[in-house]
């Protein structure tokens, strides 16, 4: 009997997402700001849609926006029927949250997951480390995305929290020296 596929993002994955989506001073972003890709964002990485208006939000609203955003990503990942373990499901949901459903929909990672080729899917994380510079419209490698994709790949591959935190900390130190 096949075990039940994961349906919701774990608290472990939510904590990782919040680490990467925190505001400059830590915590969620109470007020809208432009992310590195030039998109207006609020809360825990919620991209503000044209029909939405926010001046300031509280933690309850930030959590509600996160729940809603994650639910859309979870639905996409569940629909793959890829035989994912919880840690794999979490990692893919985190990536979909960050790159967007539309980008994921045409990705090689999605194709590999549909094939249930988890090894090849894992290798795809490192390809998603570029952001389009809103001024030049050119793709640029972003240290923050290198770190984030490494964390997601480690999670996907089943690494324990200690190993993930250790590697993330190492990469953050390297990036701070400008040599990532």
The Cα–Cα gap between 8 and 119 comes to: 22
Residue of 21, 74, 88, 152 marked catalytic: 21
Q: Where are the alpha helices (DSSP H) in the chain?
A: 11-21, 59-78, 86-99, 101-105, 108-114, 118-122, 143-156, 161-176
Question: Cα-flanking dihedrals φ and ψ of residue 130, to 5°?
Answer: -115, 145
The Cα–Cα gap between 105 and 150 comes to: 21
Q: What is the DSSP letter of 131?
A: E
Encoding tokens for residue 45? Answer: 């990485």
Question: Cα-flanking dihedrals φ and ψ of residue 71, to 5°?
Answer: -60, -40
Strand partners, 139: 132
Residue of 2, 11, 35, 73 marked catalytic: 35
Please indicate whether residue 73 is annotated as part of the active site: no
The Cα–Cα gap between 75 and 173 comes to: 35
Which residues are known catalytic residues? 21, 35
């Amino acid at each position: 009997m096949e075990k039940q596929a994961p349906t919701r993002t774990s608290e472990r994955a939510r904590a990782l997402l919040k680490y990467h989506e925190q505001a400059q001073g830590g915590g969620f972003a109470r007020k809208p700001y432009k992310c590195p890709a030039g998109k207006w964002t609020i809360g825990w990485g919620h991209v503000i849609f044209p029909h939405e208006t926010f001046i300031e939000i509280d933690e309850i609203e930030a959590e509600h926006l996160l729940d809603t955003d994650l639910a859309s990503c979870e639905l996409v990942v569940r629909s793959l029927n890829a035989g994912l373990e919880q840690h794999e499901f979490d990692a893919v949901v985190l990536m979909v949250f960050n790159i967007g459903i539309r980008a994921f929909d045409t990705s090689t990672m999605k194709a590999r997951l549909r094939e249930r080729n988890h090894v090849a899917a894992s290798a795809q994380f490192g390809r998603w480390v570029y952001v389009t510079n809103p001024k030049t419209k050119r793709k640029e490698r972003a240290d923050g995305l290198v770190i984030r994709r490494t964390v997601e790949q480690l999670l996907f591959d089943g690494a324990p929290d200690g190993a993930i935190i250790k590697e993330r900390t190492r990469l953050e130190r390297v990036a701070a020296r400008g040599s990532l």
